[in-house]
Amino acid sequence: MKYSYAILALLGIAGGAAYYAHKNKMASQDVVVEPFGEEEHEFIRFISKHQKAYGTREEYNMRLQNFANEYNNIKIQNARGGATWGVNMFSDYTR
């Protein structure tokens, strides 16, 4: 029963968005959706796993940049061999 309400809510949101787009005469080619890069995809997984929340879009972007720098550093270190590096709950912090 809970899932039925969730599906109805999602359909309502989708219907509202479609109505809004039609009412404002937005053509589908006017909407630009950029796919996530590898770093942002991993950052979203990181946020979910570690239950992170950021107060503003600016903070999100800053934490994403910190994470991307750390993520790329991890890839470089792992390519060198030896110890295995990985993402942890502090990967969005500044050094």
Mean pLDDT of 12-22: 49
- Minimal CA–CA distance to 52: which of 86, 91, 13, 19? 91
pLDDT recorded at residue 35: 73
pLDDT band, very low/low/confident/very high, at 23 (cuts 50, 70, 90) = low
Distant-in-sequence, close-in-space partners of 67: CB < 8 Å, separation ≥ 6: 39, 42, 43, 46, 87, 91, 92
pLDDT band at 95 (very low <50, low <70, confident <90, very high): confident
Report residue 4's pLDDT band, with 50, 70 and 90 as the boundaries.
Answer: very low
Q: Which residue has the tokens 């979910």?
A: 48
* Residue type present at position 33: V
Options 3.50.50.60, 1.10.287.2250, 3.20.20.70, 3.30.499.10; CATH of 36-95? 1.10.287.2250
Q: What are phi and psi of 65, to 5 degrees?
A: -65, -45
pLDDT digits over 36-66, tens only?
889 999 999 999 999 999 999 999 999 999 9
